[in-house]
Amino acid sequence: MPFTQERPDVDERAFDPRFDRETSAEFALTLARAKADALIQEGGRRWLLCADQVGVLEAPDGSRRQLSKPGTPDRCVEQLMELSGRTHALVNGLVLVSEATGQRFEAVDRQELTMRPFGRAEAASYVERFSPLDCAGGYRIEDEGIRLFERIRSDDHTGIIGLPLLTTAHLLRQAGILSP
């Protein structure tokens, strides 16, 4: 299926205050909707597929914290140390919208990932070698970051990397864009 890729002009951090008021699924959809709304062109004829992934560390007491893109090696190591031996979630919100009709289809995909316990030296070595500073959680599962994990629960492993392709195909079938 031919497509083009665009980067919407959306300040994701401006939405951070909503994280505490919305569920993880709602928050991921809020970000994906904002991206879609930023790209819609009046009189346009395109279908837009917009998505966002939110990393979430949930505590036993029900509290939760958003996992950000660390940005610096030190913050990356600190975030990895916080995840060591713990389970976190990656939640993807997807929005498919027609510019012509305004028709929208939405979905959420969630993965639960458990990291094995590891030490600071291993985390620092991984960060130095692979520099995952722009990744929520501070790792990439598609490189040697996979070695940091003990268990992954997912209906669609592509959602860990970013865009869950099974969910995307489902939305495209709902819209009649992809044949059943």
Report, as residue numbers or ranges, the catalytic residues. Answer: 52
From residue 172, how far is each of 6, 71, 90 by CA, in Å?
A: 18, 34, 22
**Dihedral sign computed on CA atoms, order 124, 130, 131, 133:** negative
Q: Which DSSP string corresponds to 80-126?
A: HHHHTT-EEEEEEEEEEEETTT--EEEEEEEEEEEEPP--HHHHHHH
Write phi, then psi, for 55 (nearest 5 degrees). -90, 135
Paired sense of beta strands 47-58 and 104-115, if any: unpaired
